[in-house]
Amino acid sequence: MKPGTGRAAADAILRTLLVLLPVSCSRPVGGERVEVAIRNFAFAPESAMVSAGDTVVFRNHDVVPHTATAAGKFDSDSIGATAAWQWIVPDSGGRYEYICIYHPTMKGVLIAGRPRS
């Protein structure tokens, strides 16, 4: 074996592992993934406990657009039919009451605590 070829091979393997490592992680960094379905003009679940750092995914299963809007906290804009939008819960925690701007009778709440340990 030529001098230095072992080092080059080791570097190539390390670079490959560093590229593949993030793909093998199934959970978002820093939190859990929480799904809120938008179905039949309602949020399900209507109320959810979440933690700081969690990723909340609003997935629209209806054939019309909806929003997930908590005044001054988050606003998805229009979530089209079969589309999704996600929001990461901030470290401050708190209570996030939200509605669909297009259909204000659609209501939900996220109750956020401290980061998961």
The predicted-structure confidence for 9-61, as pLDDT tens digits, reads as follows 656 554 544 444 443 333 445 689 999 999 999 999 999 999 999 999 999 99
Find the angle CA(81)-CA(83)-CA(88) to the nearest 5 degrees. 140
CB 84 within 8 A of CB 59: yes
For residue range 84-100, list pLDDT tens digits in order: 999 999 998 899 999 99
Report whether pLDDT(116) > 80: no
CB 90 within 8 A of CB 101: no
**pLDDT for 24:** 34
47 DSSP β-pair partners: 109
Mean pLDDT of the chain: 84
| Residue ranges of domains in the chain, CATH in brackets | 33-113 (2.60.40.420)
Classified as helix, coil or strand, 10 is helix
